[in-house]
Chains A and B, each alone.
Chain A
Amino acid sequence: MSRLRALPRAHLIAGLCLVVLVLYPVVNPWQPYPQGVMLLAFLLAIQASSWNIISGYAGYISLGHSMFLGLGSYTVGVLAVRFGVNPLWVAPLGGVTAVIIAVLIGSVVLRTRGHAFVIITIAMLLAAQIFAVNLKSITQGSDGITLELPFWDRDFQNIPFYYVYLILLVLTVLFSAWIRRTKFGTGLVAIREDEGKAASIGVNTTRFKIVAYAASSFFIGMAGGVYAYYLSFINPVGSFAILGSVTIVLATLTGGRGTLYGPVIGAFIVQVVSEAATVYGGGSQSRVLLFGLALMVVVLFLPKGLLPTIEAWWRRRHPEEVEYTDQTGALSRAPATTTERVRAELAAVNAEDAIAPGEILLDVRGVSKRFGGLTAVDNAGLTVRKGTITALIGPNGSGKTTLFNLISGGMAADSGEIWFDGRRIDGMRPWRRGHLGLGRTYQVTRLFKEMTVQENVVAPLPDSRWRTMFSDAVGGHEAARARELLDIVGLGRFANQPAGALSYGQQKLVELAQVLMLEPKLILLDEPAGGVNPSLLGQLTEVIRELNRSGVTFLIVEHNIPLVLDLCDPVVVFSHGAPIAEGPPERIRTDPLVLDAYLGDDWRPAEDGAADEGAGESDRTETATREAVQ
């Protein structure tokens, strides 16, 4: 709730600041110097806010972002000189050039995870400079391009530029705020937190990152166009300066990476301090040193930035009581109508399927996976029939989780085929499998810990449509659906808490709700009962049964044998990377092969089975409770 209350307040302050900035040139029109400083602060804020989309929300650092400013400047400079148009009219084309280049670079570099991106961004900035120097026929080389002077009367000074930049800044911030509200924005934060997990819940990470990079370039390109007109002269060294990138990074980092207003606040601070340093502290010569030191200090001592630090301090001062361990609260059920609606939806999704209940939904054929000398999955075959709750049990290290990873696409199989819902999926990227209706949870939960519970559940994308990607994640249909799913697992009241604050068992339930957002046909559950206390476990099995009645198929890896025997049919036993037995639970528990390989003597039917089972169960629950306490 504190967030809800804090949000409008932040917007209110931002609005007030905007009014002051709009009025400033009117109140104080004859001061070109402060206006100039403000104008450059606007420009920096536009760049920092834009950079924040790719490097703050999505967490992919670009160190060459000032390239887009230069690209915009050159696009507009060349067009204006060639065709004699006013630079302001073609400034949007600067943004278009920036977007095109960003998409080109992004589609090469952003297909993988990891560090190539940051490196390539530096290289591309320098490459752009080389182009500008050497493509003399277009850019006039190192001589640079001289543009016409502003058409307005000199009495207006730079006031028109002031307003143009202010408008651009407002648009940039609105754009950034809108992105953060959509499922696209939620997906970007998911990528920052855990890219592999994001892919498994249907986030097309490649597309998301490329679009984010493009989105982070447009307003900079446009601002670059205006900047060329403002300077009335551009050259390669000035337009593609790495120091420009440094100020962008520094501004965003100072204010708070990943926040909406942080980059803007940071931009004003950096611009004013840098101006003061130029005037009072030895001129622009020492600027490099100063920026370098500032960057190091911020990274070392203020890594989250001003805004989040202040926010955290405020929250510590005004703590808010949340009863995390309140069992009645945690277990409160959703109104029956909600549950019914979601069940009906899932039933509809599963009914329109070509595959009838009882037929094969998932078919794993002769799949192998080796890690060096270790064959984790060895020519394994497995079928899951529609409408069942199939269990996959076996000793630790028998390859169950690896098989899950191969099915969900986290890893690629060395050989074999995997078919799902009549389609071969082993070559598909994880998100495509998610869109087909294949969802999974993880043995150790992988929630996006810095997001709220609600955001976690909104993040998944059930299909690859652009409309879904840009649908509202904060209000509207998607958010309402997430709330319903949270109610179904009984955690609705934690919707606005950070996911990292929940207990382990509760996180498992949230992960299940997350998967349900995919409108799944098959859910892979990896040790759903591990570390979950008995009452939550009861809740969990009930949810699984209900969902199964609506037509959702389950494949469950679990070590809690009583639970498995109670819940699942059929049961598949894995050992040494391949199944050794399959059948209904009654048969599995007496199968001599299974007893030797996994269950052990405790389950021998010769002894008193019923008493044993009881003992085993209490043992299990004790362990579970202990883990939950831990």
Chain B
Amino acid sequence: MTHLVQAIALGLLIGGVYALMASGLTLIFGVMRIINIAQGAFLILVAMLTWWLWHETGIDPILASVVTTPLMFGFGWVAYRLLLSRIRGSSASMSVLLTFGFALVIEGVLNITAGNKFKSATPSYFEESFRVGAISLPKAQVFGFLAAMAVLAALYFVLTRTWTGRAIRAATQNPSGAALVGVGATGTAALAFAIGSATTGVGGSILSVLYPFFPASHYDWISRLLGIVVLGGMGSLPGALVGAGILGLAETLTATYGSLNWSTLVFYIVIMVVLLIRPQGLFGAKLREDTV
């Protein structure tokens, strides 16, 4: 019983972090119908940066996101303006290929600059835990979860309570309608891409503490995050939250009752089962086909 509660608690903590990481991806997809395969590489890039900051200055890795988040915001904005805006209007598959190429470039650059070795930021609280009754919650997980929740709340606030957020949501739902009322498509898209990238600022910082990583780790991460997005329904933020929770639980439960080796695979199986029953994902809307 304790095992189960422990696994569920851990699963939800990890799920919260996954939710943050996937939210940026689903936001970008929702607004631009772009699947940003480079999102995983962004995460690893931030993790590297965080690790380096921590290693050089001793600054707390999770706190380092105060630096990395605006950095990634700018990075995303520039990337959109320089690269993705050039293929606006061509098919969605081209954006997949472009961001895939971008991910490889980031991986390649990291390979050369940072080396092909596993790294992990280990702050002082790395091996400590909070004890709640019989279960123990590692401090790093708790801090990561809290940071993720704070950012998700901020993101939710921006999307629902500010003009910028309304513009982004308007562009998500009806691009041409949004353009008519003064919401420029390119500007909004760049903004959404920048915000989506900025979420990796916190996500990557948390990652650097919770998981060992090396340049090629981004494949594992992007496939997990994309899995979450497909499971929840492409472009749906609530879907990303639920999908992330399911991934977190699937991983910790498999690790507790089975073997860690199979945990990712269990998640993929969950996705396939869900897609078998609901091809559009849990919260996904069926594409409406129109004649005009």
User: Contact residues of A with B, CB < 8 Å?
Assistant: 55, 59, 61, 63, 108-109, 111-116, 118-120, 122-124, 126-127, 130-131, 133-134, 196, 242, 246, 249, 253, 285-296, 299-300, 303, 371, 401, 404-405, 410-411, 442-444, 446, 526
On whether A123 and B103 interact (CB within 8 A), knowing A196-B289, A253-B97, A526-B291, the answer reads: no
On whether A118 and B96 interact (CB within 8 A), knowing A130-B264, A285-B112, the answer reads: yes
- A587 to B100, alpha carbons, bound, how many Å? 64
Asked if B289 and A120 sit within 8 Å, CB to CB, the answer is: no
On whether A288 and B96 interact (CB within 8 A), knowing A114-B234, A119-B35, A122-B223, the answer reads: no
Q: Find chain A residues with CB under 8 A from B226 CB.
A: 119, 122-123
Asked if A118 and B268 sit within 8 Å, CB to CB, the answer is: no
User: Contact residues of B with A, CB < 8 Å?
Assistant: 29, 33, 35, 37, 83, 86-87, 90-94, 96-98, 100-109, 111-112, 219-220, 222-223, 226-227, 229-230, 234, 259, 261-262, 264-265, 268, 271-272, 275-276, 279-281, 286-289, 291-292
Q: Which 3 A-B pairs have the closest CB atoms?
A: A289-B108, A292-B104, A295-B101
Q: Find chain A residues with CB under 8 A from B98 CB.
A: 295-296, 299-300
On whether A246 and B100 interact (CB within 8 A), knowing A118-B35, A119-B229, A303-B87, the answer reads: yes
**Closest A residue to B224 using CB positions:** A123
Asked if A288 and B291 sit within 8 Å, CB to CB, the answer is: no
Q: Of the candidates B86, B223, B288, which one forms a contact with A123 in the assembled complex, judged by CB atoms under 8 Å apart? A: B223
Asked if B261 and A286 sit within 8 Å, CB to CB, the answer is: no
Asked if B97 and A299 sit within 8 Å, CB to CB, the answer is: yes
Asked if A295 and B107 sit within 8 Å, CB to CB, the answer is: no
**Closest B residue to A300 using CB positions:** B86
Q: Find chain A residues with CB under 8 A from B289 CB.
A: 196, 405, 410-411
Asked if B264 and A119 sit within 8 Å, CB to CB, the answer is: no
A-B contact count (CB 8 A): 150
Asked if B223 and A443 sit within 8 Å, CB to CB, the answer is: no
- A296 to B104, alpha carbons, bound, how many Å? 10
Interface majority SS (helix, strand, loop, mixed), chain B: helix
Asked if A289 and B105 sit within 8 Å, CB to CB, the answer is: yes
Asked if A116 and B265 sit within 8 Å, CB to CB, the answer is: no
On whether A292 and B103 interact (CB within 8 A), knowing A61-B96, A119-B227, A300-B83, the answer reads: yes
Shortest beta-carbon distance from B219 to chain A in Å: 6
Q: Find chain B residues with CB under 8 A from A292 CB.
A: 101-108
Asked if A443 and B227 sit within 8 Å, CB to CB, the answer is: no
On whether A112 and B104 interact (CB within 8 A), knowing A126-B223, A300-B87, the answer reads: no
- A458 to B193, alpha carbons, bound, how many Å? 42
- A293 to B279, alpha carbons, bound, how many Å? 34
Asked if B102 and A113 sit within 8 Å, CB to CB, the answer is: no
Q: Of the candidates B111, B220, B268, B276, which one forms a contact with A289 in the assembled complex, judged by CB atoms under 8 Å apart? A: B111
Asked if A59 and B91 sit within 8 Å, CB to CB, the answer is: yes
**Closest A residue to B107 using CB positions:** A288
Asked if B35 and A286 sit within 8 Å, CB to CB, the answer is: no
On whether A130 and B261 interact (CB within 8 A), knowing A292-B108, A443-B292, the answer reads: yes
Asked if B101 and A296 sit within 8 Å, CB to CB, the answer is: yes
Q: Find chain B residues with CB under 8 A from A113 CB.
A: 287
Asked if A130 and B101 sit within 8 Å, CB to CB, the answer is: no
Q: Find chain A residues with CB under 8 A from B86 CB.
A: 300
